[in-house]
Amino acid sequence: MKFDKVHVYTGDGKGKTTAAVGLAVRAVGAGLRVLFVQFLKDCSSSELRVLKKLGIKCECFGEGILLRCARARDIELCEKGIEFVREAILSKKYALVVLDEVLTALKLGALRPDDVLGLIELRGAELVLTGRDAPKEIIEMADYASHIKKLKHPFDQGQNARKGIEF
């Protein structure tokens, strides 16, 4: 079976990473090798603990501080992440590769569209891209594209993120 489709989970609603985690769990449950890479995050997200217990390789390329624009350190880490993912895809070790918050890294300027488009063009693994504001060109290249829209969220009333629910 060939694994080369591209999935995009985008929008301002809660659930993009959650959807990617669900797909990763399904894939590993079917005996597939999975790589879960987080951009801009620092590996403190609760889901990584259980993914690792399931045998999913997890890597993070970020410091966990999301600002309105990328800093030099964000750019450096995200570029390392892209190179790590490129090597992983070319190795053919993984059927599914999740790039969590890669679209947010694009929006903030930590990555260039060509960085992500180059990974898509490899078509060497099933790719999942998450984050807000997916560029049109990436949606057009995707095989699956879901827009997750926020209707209501406790953040709107000033509530902070809660461990185990939002991260």
**Per-residue pLDDT reduced to its tens digit, 42-53:** 999 999 999 999
**Per-residue pLDDT reduced to its tens digit, 33-84:** 999 999 999 999 999 999 999 999 999 999 987 767 888 999 999 999 999 9
Concatenating the DSSP letter of every residue in the chain gives -----EEEEESSSTTHHHHHHHHHHHHHHTT--EEEEEES--S--THHHHHHHTT-EEEEES-S---SS--HHHHHHHHHHHHHHHHHHHHT--SEEEEETHHHHHHHTSS-HHHHHHHHHH--SEEEEE-SS--HHHHHH-SEEEE---S--GGGGTPPP-TTTT-
pTM (two decimals): 0.92
Choosing among 3.40.50.300, 3.30.420.40, 3.40.190.10, 3.30.43.10, the CATH entry for 6-150 is: 3.40.50.300
